[in-house]
Amino acid sequence: QVQLVESGGGLVQFGGSLRLSCAASGSIVRIDDMGWYRQAPGKQRELVAGITTGGTANYADSVKGRFTISRDNTKNTVYLQMNSLKPEDTAVYYCNADAVPTGWPPKWNQYWGQGTLVTVSS
């Protein structure tokens, strides 16, 4: 199996910073795109940042200029540096990855982390 394990969430005051980490482990042949989603209570899960294997990143307009996504392919890990946090950033943040597990035939699957809670006080 492929597992995504997240860390770095917590409580931070308005304007503060947090860095989220997500490490993929298990029987992985290949990982392609990775990203971060978030879901606030009563709202749909939304994509906040994505990154390709080559390092090309895209961001939701709401976080552009404040968040930075990066990855370390040698560690199968993706990061989300969050600066200038606002109360509206409060949500459960989920790591996502497209990966091929071991086995035959090879197939791409989408995997999710368990989520880590980010709370920004106001």
Contact (CB, 8 A) for 49 and 84: no
Instruction: Tally the residues of the chain.
Output: 122
List, for residues 92-111, the tens digit of each pLDDT value: 999 999 999 999 999 999 99
**pLDDT (0 to 100) of residue 102:** 93
Contact (CB, 8 A) for 11 and 90: no
Residue with tokens 């989300």, as numbered in its chain: 80
**pLDDT (0 to 100) of residue 122:** 87
What are the average pLDDT values for consecutive 10-residue runs of the chain, which has 122 residues?
94 98 94 96 96 96 98 95 98 97 93 97 92
> What's the gap between Cα 5 and its chain centre?
10
